Amino acid sequence: MQVKTPDRATAEPPVRTDPQHRRPRALLWHSRTLQGLAYATPTAVFVAVLFVLPLLLVGQMSLHDWPLLAGDQGSNAPENYTDVSDSTLFWPAVRFTLLYTGIVTVVLLGLALLLALLVQESRPGAGFFRTVYFLPGALGLASASLLFWGMYSPTTGPLSRTLEKLGLVDDPVSFLGTPTSALLSTVFLVVWKFAGFYMLILLVGLQRIPHELYEAARMDGASRGQIFRSITLPLLRPSLALSLLLCVTGSLLAFDQFFVLTKGGPDNSTVTVVQLIYREAFQRLNLGTAAALSILVLAALLLLNALQFRGLRHADES
Amino acid sequence: MGSPPGSQGRLRGRSHEPVRRLATAAVALLATVGLATACGSGDGGSEDDGTKAADAKGVDDGATLTMWTRAATRPQSEALVKAYNAGHENKVELTVIPTDDYQAKVGAAAGAKDLPDLFASDVVFVPNYTSSRLFADLTDRIDALPFADDLAQSHIKAGTYDGKKYVVPHTLDLSVLFYNKDLYRKAQLDPDKPPATLADWDRQARAVDALGGGVNGTFFGGNCGGCGVFTWWPSIWAAGEDVLNKDGTEALLASGTAQKVYDTYRGWVRDDIVAPGARDETGVTWTGVFPKGKVGVMPMPSTTLGLMPKDLDLGVAPIPGPDGGKSTFVGGDAIGISATSDKTDQAWNFLAWSLGDKAQVDVVAAHKDVVARTDLASNKYSKADPRLVTINQLVADGRTPYALKFGQTFNDPNGPWLTLMRDAVFGDGAKVEKDNEAVTASLAD
């Protein structure tokens, strides 16, 4: 009796000399491969058309002289790339974006962890607070930014007027009027909006830690701090890693909040790299340079993400 | 015998397996269909034969025309569209776009060849659009109009490229001083003697500010480049000077006259004569301060005259220069037919009507707006309100600056003009020369 074992997914169905004895299993396997391909095709088409093609197009744009209104004018490589650093706003924007990312990541993840620890027990009211903390996440970022823009307005917003009425300040407070206050006000908005979201991620991670570990540690006389450092944090690593990745990527690509609240002001102190891309494309009407900038941001993101993955994996293995 | 990877015994009787597979297949099918339809683009318009006999009135045959306008000139556009739709078979569908986003939207639509039939444009951006061939050639049609020579020439000039005309005036927005007569009386100023020089303006603003009680002398958009060119440049023009060279590639914004203007504003900021919020005002709410009745005198757009509260006793005056003179920024919107439209004749029907006697007098002038034709400057409505006569007459003393890189230099919130403005007025004014060079660099880009 012949025993044929196709051992590779791409193996051809076994060659039979006797057509009437085709094994039904092989036929089924062959049709399952086709089925799998059929199910995967729409996704592949999606990815190809909505991601790969635009990416290639942006790459092409970055190598061409491409004004927004007049269209493709032909190649001018690598001018778009070398011109990037000519803009006086480029390096300050890079520095500011990195600074902002650092601040937001630390504050946001720290607060999210705290909130998750607070609501992880099934105490009465925990469910209510979980909802309340998460609620701001249901707003779109642009809507939230508009909301806060209205609130921060020194002349028409409620915050300033309340502070004046309470006698805490004499003049209308300009929350977005200086570089520092603009940055902190925006950080406040972002933390308010996303703390609940990251709290949820960390909450899921917290709830996966087996209670027996805590009990065992408590029986051994460990303090809360020791428990937190030696049990909670290490076992929370995957959730923390995910949160870190999302937070860093999102912050590096920050645009909506700054565009709505400050438009990069006051005095170009809150310009982020994505805002530079927007400005290149729609103010300076030049898609070629905007595309070059986009490719550079993409490269930086890929690099940073690769580094994060590597760092977290090493930490895991150790 | 092993089984190939990927087929690990999922066939064994899982009862919901067929349903799940069906559902997955359905989703995949829907996705593919959705993708296919999403990729379908709108139908391309048929090429309009531009050599068809240019009927001066266009065609009114029940077509639907799409039109875009800026939020800043929304009341005027809406009034014209409403009146046109009421009396014609063609219907214009107007979309109002936030002023700040307008350039970007037009740019994006132009790139996608998806512009509406008609689109208005801030007159300072028109050179961008004509040089990129976004508008249809209207030279013959404009010249066929009986009142062609009486149209506001600064708008026609802004829309002329390579000897061809591409736009007609749509709304005129002039910068004029508005002053609060009630506050003037309270401050013991003559309500019929508005400022004739920059020094007068300074004195009167300070007198009103001294009233206290939440009253301020003046206001301006301190974080708004567009507001700055609109309200500060007339003072320089009133002195007979230029702010740009003829081609719009060099800036003259550090001149002695310009410095005098900046000095006056800086003094107001230093001495708190300006209403709060000026430093942060990005242009979104700058015209909402005067109607509250607590500001003495400030330049405002003439298009806001018809929107002022009825009980606000306000007077208007031309913007003066350091030693007198008068001028204005002839802004507003010009409008053209997009080059990709297939309804050029119908669109022209709307444009020709909007410049005709009935529209200009009964719609534009009736709303206390500036008419686009100098032969109608004195009409039954303007005669009823002497303020309108003052404004209408100002068109002759005003200018519309021309620069290809106007938007990215002067309107861009991250651009060099805003930096110059804020250094000159909120700083100590020492960097104006250097900032002016940055402006020139941007214009010559």
Q: What is the pTM of this model?
A: 0.81
Domain hosting B242: range is 175-329+403-443
Contact B347, B58 (CB under 8 A): yes
Q: What is the pLDDT of residue B53?
A: 46
Q: What is the pLDDT of residue B99?
A: 82
Element containing residue B120 per DSSP (H, E): strand B118-122
Q: What is the pLDDT of residue B299?
A: 97
Closest CA to A160 of A176, A145, A184, A138: A176
Whether residues B268 and B343 fall in one domain? no
Q: Which residue is listed with tokens 């507001």?
A: B227
Contact B318, B328 (CB under 8 A): yes
Whether residues B167 and B312 fall in one domain? no
ipTM above 0.85, yes or no: no
Residue where a domain stops, chosen among B382, B397, B412: B397
Q: From chain B, pick out residues whose CB is under 8 angstroms from the CB of A156.
A: 285
Q: From chain B, pick out residues whose CB is under 8 angstroms from the CB of A9.
A: 4-6
The answer to the question of residue B126 being in a domain is yes
Dihedral sign for Cα B16, B21, B27, B33, please: negative
Within 269-298 of B, beta carbons closer than 8 Å to A belong to 276-277, 279-280, 282, 285, 289
Whether residues B321 and B200 fall in one domain? yes
Using CA atoms of B153, B157, B160, B161 in order, give the dihedral in degrees to the nearest 10: 170
Q: What is the pLDDT of residue B43?
A: 40
Which candidate from A3, A33, A282 shows the least CB-CB separation from B107? A282
The answer to the question of residue B51 being in a domain is no
A299 touches chain B (CB under 8 A): no
The answer to the question of residue B38 being in a domain is no
Question: With pLDDT > 90 as the criterion, what percentage of chain B qualifies?
Answer: 64
- Do B132 and A67 count as a contact with CB atoms less than 8 A apart? yes
Q: What is the pLDDT of residue A311?
A: 81
| pLDDT, chain A, mean | 88
Going by DSSP bridges, is the β-strand pair B64-70/B91-97 parallel, antiparallel, or unpaired? parallel
Residue B399 in 3-state DSSP?
Answer: strand
Q: Where are the beta strands (DSSP E) in B162-201?
A: 164-165, 168-180
Tens digits of per-residue pLDDT, B123-141? Answer: 999 998 999 899 999 999 9
Q: What is the pLDDT of residue B78?
A: 94
Highest mean pLDDT among A208-212, B200-204, B277-281, B379-383: B200-204
Whether residues B163 and B182 fall in one domain? no
Q: Which residue is listed with tokens 């209510």?
A: A128
Compute the distance between CA of residue A36 and CA of residue A24 in angstroms, rounded to an integer.
18
Domain ranges of chain A: 90-270
Within 75-114 of A, beta carbons closer than 8 Å to B belong to 89
Residue A221 in 3-state DSSP?
Answer: coil
Whether residues B185 and B280 fall in one domain? yes
In the structure, what pLDDT confidence band is assigned to residue B50 with cuts at 50, 70 and 90? very low
- Do A267 and B422 count as a contact with CB atoms less than 8 A apart? yes
Helices (H), B187-341: 198-209, 225-238, 256-270
Closest CA to B406 of B171, B244, B175, B174: B244
Residue A265 in 3-state DSSP?
Answer: coil
Q: From chain A, pick out residues whose CB is under 8 angstroms from the CB of B32.
A: 41-42, 45
The answer to the question of residue B41 being in a domain is no
Tens digits of per-residue pLDDT, B163-218? Answer: 999 999 999 999 999 999 999 999 999 999 999 999 999 999 999 999 999 999 99
Whether residues B200 and B143 fall in one domain? no
Closest CA to B174 of B333, B335, B357, B355: B333
Helices (H), B222-316: 225-238, 256-270
Amino acid at B255: S
A169 touches chain B (CB under 8 A): no
CATH hierarchy code of domain A90-270: 1.10.3720.10
Closest CA to B142 of B117, B120, B126, B159: B159
Within 368-407 of B, beta carbons closer than 8 Å to A belong to 407
Who wins on pLDDT, B390 or B422? Answer: B422
Mutating which of A37, A41, A43, A68 best tests the B interface, going by the most B Cβ atoms within 10 A?
Answer: A68
Tens digits of per-residue pLDDT, A36-77? Answer: 899 999 999 999 999 999 999 999 999 999 988 878 888 988
Closest CA to B386 of B368, B364, B371: B368
Whether residues B179 and B158 fall in one domain? no
Compute the distance between CA of residue A247 and CA of residue B44 in angstroms, rounded to an integer.
43
Compute the distance between CA of residue B174 and CA of residue B398 in angstroms, rounded to an integer.
8
Rounded to a whole number, what is the distance in Å from the CA of B253 to chain A's nearest CA?
19
Which candidate from B104, B277, B445 shows the least CB-CB separation from A155? B277
Q: What is the pLDDT of residue A24?
A: 66
The answer to the question of residue B17 being in a domain is no
Q: What CATH number did the domain enclosing B127 receive?
A: 3.40.190.10
Whether residues B155 and B188 fall in one domain? no
CA-to-CA dists, residue B137 to A17, B55, B168, angstroms:
76, 14, 11
Contact A113, A196 (CB under 8 A): no
Whether residues B302 and B438 fall in one domain? yes
**Over 70: is that where the pLDDT of A10 sits?**
no
- Count of CA atoms in the C-beta half-sphere (13 A) of A52: 7
Contact A277, A293 (CB under 8 A): yes
Tens digits of per-residue pLDDT, A148-191? Answer: 999 998 877 899 889 988 988 888 888 998 999 999 999 999 99
Whether residues B254 and B354 fall in one domain? no
B139 touches chain A (CB under 8 A): no
Asked which of A112-116, A192-196, B44-48, B105-109 is least confident by mean pLDDT, the reply is: B44-48
- Count of CA atoms in the C-beta half-sphere (13 A) of B334: 29
Tens digits of per-residue pLDDT, A232-257? Answer: 998 999 899 999 999 999 999 999 99
- Do A46 and B412 count as a contact with CB atoms less than 8 A apart? no
- Do A156 and B103 count as a contact with CB atoms less than 8 A apart? no
Q: What is the pLDDT of residue A121?
A: 80
**Over 90: is that where the pLDDT of B110 sits?**
no
Q: From chain A, pick out residues whose CB is under 8 angstroms from the CB of B289.
A: 155
Helix axes A90-119, A237-252, angle to 10 degrees: 150
CA-to-CA dists, residue B100 to B95, B96, B97, B117, B246, angstroms:
15, 12, 8, 21, 27
Compute the distance between CA of residue A127 and CA of residue A105 in angstroms, rounded to an integer.
26
- Do A268 and B412 count as a contact with CB atoms less than 8 A apart? no
Element containing residue A264 per DSSP (H, E): none
Contact A68, B110 (CB under 8 A): yes
Q: Which residues contact B149 (CB under 8 A, 6 or more apart)?
A: none
Compute the distance between CA of residue A89 and CA of residue B418 in angstroms, rounded to an integer.
14
**Over 70: is that where the pLDDT of B28 sits?**
no
The answer to the question of residue B292 being in a domain is yes
The answer to the question of residue B14 being in a domain is no
Contact A136, A196 (CB under 8 A): yes
Contact B300, B220 (CB under 8 A): no
Which candidate from B107, B289, B411 shows the least CB-CB separation from A69? B107
With left for phi above 0 and alpha for psi between -120 and 50, is residue B402 left, alpha or beta? beta
Whether residues B265 and B186 fall in one domain? yes
Using CA atoms of B209, B199, B418, B369 in order, give the dihedral in degrees to the nearest 10: 80
- Do A9 and B5 count as a contact with CB atoms less than 8 A apart? yes
Which candidate from A25, A68, A177 shows the least CB-CB separation from B280? A177
Element containing residue B147 per DSSP (H, E): none
Compute the distance between CA of residue A76 and CA of residue B161 in angstroms, rounded to an integer.
27
Whether residues B182 and B321 fall in one domain? yes
- Do A279 and B24 count as a contact with CB atoms less than 8 A apart? no
With left for phi above 0 and alpha for psi between -120 and 50, is residue A215 left, alpha or beta? alpha
Compute the distance between CA of residue B294 and CA of residue A133 in angstroms, rounded to an integer.
42
Write out the DSSP string of B326-387.
EE-BEEEEEEEEBTT-S-HHHHHHHHHHHHSHHIIIIIIGGGT-B-SBGGGSS-HHHHH-HH
Q: What is the pLDDT of residue A285?
A: 87
Residue A23 in 3-state DSSP?
Answer: coil
Which candidate from B32, B108, B407 shows the least CB-CB separation from A45? B32
Closest CA to B415 of B220, B253, B264, B210: B253
Contact B190, B297 (CB under 8 A): no
Q: Residues of B13-35 as b/e, b for ≥16 C-beta within 10 angstroms?
A: eeeeeeeeeeeeeeebeeeeeee
CB count in 10 Å sphere of residue B37: 8
Compute the distance between CA of residue B319 and CA of residue A4 in angstroms, rounded to an integer.
95
| pLDDT, chain B, mean | 87
Amino acid at A260: V
Who wins on pLDDT, A260 or A16? Answer: A260
In the structure, what pLDDT confidence band is assigned to residue B396 with cuts at 50, 70 and 90? confident
Dihedral sign for Cα B57, B61, B66, B68, please: positive
CB pairs < 8 Å spanning A and B? 121
A46 touches chain B (CB under 8 A): yes
Q: DSSP class of residue B43?
A: P
Which candidate from B5, B31, B419 shows the least CB-CB separation from A46? B31
CA–CA–CA angle B150, B154, B158 (5° rounding): 125
Using CB atoms within 10 Å of the CB of residue A78, give its burial: 0 to 12 exposed, 13 to 18 middle, 19+ buried: exposed
Q: Which residue is listed with tokens 């002001």?
A: A265
Contact A230, A222 (CB under 8 A): yes
Q: Which residue is listed with tokens 């009253």?
A: B215
Contact B66, B95 (CB under 8 A): yes
- Do A155 and B285 count as a contact with CB atoms less than 8 A apart? yes
Whether the bond between A78 and the residue before it is cis, its omega within 30 degrees of 0, is yes
Residue A76 in 3-state DSSP?
Answer: coil
